Amino acid sequence: MTTLIPHWIDGARREGASGRTADVTDPATGEVSGQVALASTEEVDAAVAAAAAAFPGWRDTSLTKRSAVLFKFRELLNERKPELAAIITAEHGKVLDDALGEVSRGQEVAEFACGVPHLLKGGFTENASTGVDVHSVRQPLGPVAVISPFNFPAMVPMWFFPVAIATGNTVVLKPSEKDPTAALWMAELWKEAGLPDGVFNVVHGDKVAVDRLLEHPEIQSVSFVGSTPIARYVYETGTRHGKRVQALGGAKNHMLVLPDADLDLAADAAVNAGFGSAGERCMAISTLVAVGGVGDDLVARIAERAATLRTGDGRRGCDMGPLVTREHRDRVAGYVDAGEEAGAKVVVDGREVQPDGGEGGFWLGPTVLDHVSTDMSVYTDEIFGPVLVVLRVDTYEQGLELINSNEYGNGTAIFTNDGGAARRFQNEVEVGMVGINVPIPVPMAYYSFGGWKNSLFGDSHAHGTEGVHFFTRGKVITSRWLDPSHGGLNLGFPQNA
């Protein structure tokens, strides 16, 4: 029996009325577990109307009361995160531990947002001009849209909505239709935490829902995360409709290993960052760049480790789960075929994996392709699967040039024991998030997350102070309280004295 997954509008579940649905599958069995409603434009309008109606009341709710709701949400999430992790594993496929890790990283943003009264403090200048004071405030935008990808059904929405809500906005979330239940679960948690109806809404859907959010006159901003072509489209369409847009796109993250690096540490890191979540992370290491002859040794150590990984059902204590859908699994396997045909050496072949999971699951084991060159599709394209490609260069400069020439600039890492080289790298590399002997440098919630180049369209990164700025508008107030010394006519431009 399959479950019907409804929208969440104005504090209640709403059955889909468009007549359109999509299958949700359990990737470890291949079985259809649910049907998610795909919203019509009218259903999106109903969610936006609920968010617009809730906005004045929420905007005017005191910061003390708002942060109390945030705090309660954080407490409930912390108590019940195993439930959410189980939902993620059942629809996304990542192993339970990894799903729990995702929820914890999202929770950090809720914790950051609990401190919003401090972050919203403005400046005050007494007597800026004689008898004139100036102060600044930051005010919420109104109803805002969040559109999220399949790979982090809880964490990525949580990069945005705790900050949006804490700063006084109301939210319409359009999660990925591939794993939609996490969003619904979080909506119910908000209600339990005491959030007024209409402040947080969820509409499920596809391009129809996204397009309506991008053009809807009441939506003030769009926070999007997904693949680069769609991110670019969302940025261009949303800004054309006058919205503030932050659109985070795809990635091809390189790990540069210098000859002096600890090769065991580097091999551990490459395996963890390459195959965790089956490589379906925007911060996954997908490209290893071996400098100055360390390639053979490093690849041997990686292959040894990859062979020990157990691929299977995420509920069975395996190391790595399935890919999210059959189409995606076949697409990733197709890249491995193409790489092999183009002359890359398949050192570890995930196509031959013996999974500990259902026969109909979407399995592909860890795969390592060595001697890859920059013209191969396994290098030029974002694969988004458990495929690590290895390139070799002679010098640090060649490695840097390779990374800086890539169209993406999300994350990167350098492995070395040379502090000077690492310091040079952090300065010279054209990438938004840099790890030094840290393979997945996802910033803490109080810093901001975001890449450069085709990995992010817009000016603002997610969460941290950039998130607070994104979800608020600045206002500066100049005030003078008249006393008997004021008065008189003067048509000149105001000057300070």
Length of the chain: 497
CA geometry: angle at 396 spanning 390 and 398, to 5°? 70
Task: With CA atoms as reference, report the closest residue to 187 among 220, 198, 307.
Answer: 198
The rounded distance, in Å, linking the Cα atoms of 274 and 267 is 10
Q: Is the dihedral of CA 300, 301, 306, 307 positive or negative?
A: positive
Q: Toward ligand NAD, which CB reaches closer, 380 or 417?
A: 380
Which residue type is seen at 185?
W
Strands, sheet with 132-140, edge to edge from the N-terminal-most edge strand: 124-129, 132-140, 472-480
Nearest distance from residue 164's CB to ligand NAD, in Å?
A: 17
Q: Toward ligand NAD, which CB reaches closer, 221 or 455?
A: 455
The rounded distance, in Å, linking the Cα atoms of 197 and 403 is 47
Nearest distance from residue 456's CB to ligand NAD, in Å?
A: 6
Q: Toward ligand NAD, which CB reaches closer, 210 or 273?
A: 210
Contact 58, 142 (CB under 8 A): no
Which of 110, 278, 282, 376 is the catalytic position?
A: 282
Please, what's the b/e burial string for 195-224 (b: 16 or more CB within 10 A of its CB; e: otherwise)?
bbebbbbbbbbeebbbbbbbebeebbbbbb
Three-class SS of residue 488? coil
CA 365 to chain centre: 24
Helices (H), 93-151: 96-114, 116-119
Contact 421, 318 (CB under 8 A): no
- Note if 282 is an active site residue: yes
What are the backbone angles phi and psi of residue 270, rounded to the nearest 5°? -65, -40
The rounded distance, in Å, linking the Cα atoms of 486 and 177 is 63
Element holding 64 (H helix, E strand) = helix 63-92
End-to-end Cα distance, the chain: 76
Nearest distance from residue 283's CB to ligand NAD, in Å?
A: 7
Q: Give strand pairing partners of 433.
A: 411
Q: Toward ligand NAD, which CB reaches closer, 250 or 339?
A: 250
> What does the block give as tokens for 249?
């796109």
What residue is closest to ligand NAD based on CB? 226
Nearest distance from residue 22's CB to ligand NAD, in Å?
A: 9
Taking the CA atoms of the chain, what radius of gyration do you get in angstroms? 25
Task: With CA atoms as reference, report the closest residue to 410 among 442, 376, 381, 437.
Answer: 442
| Residues near ligand NAD (CB under 6 A) | 147-152, 156, 174, 176-177, 206-207, 210, 225-227, 230, 248-251, 282, 382, 384, 410, 451, 455
Nearest distance from residue 382's CB to ligand NAD, in Å?
A: 5
Contact 17, 39 (CB under 8 A): no
- Catalytic residues, by residue number, are 282
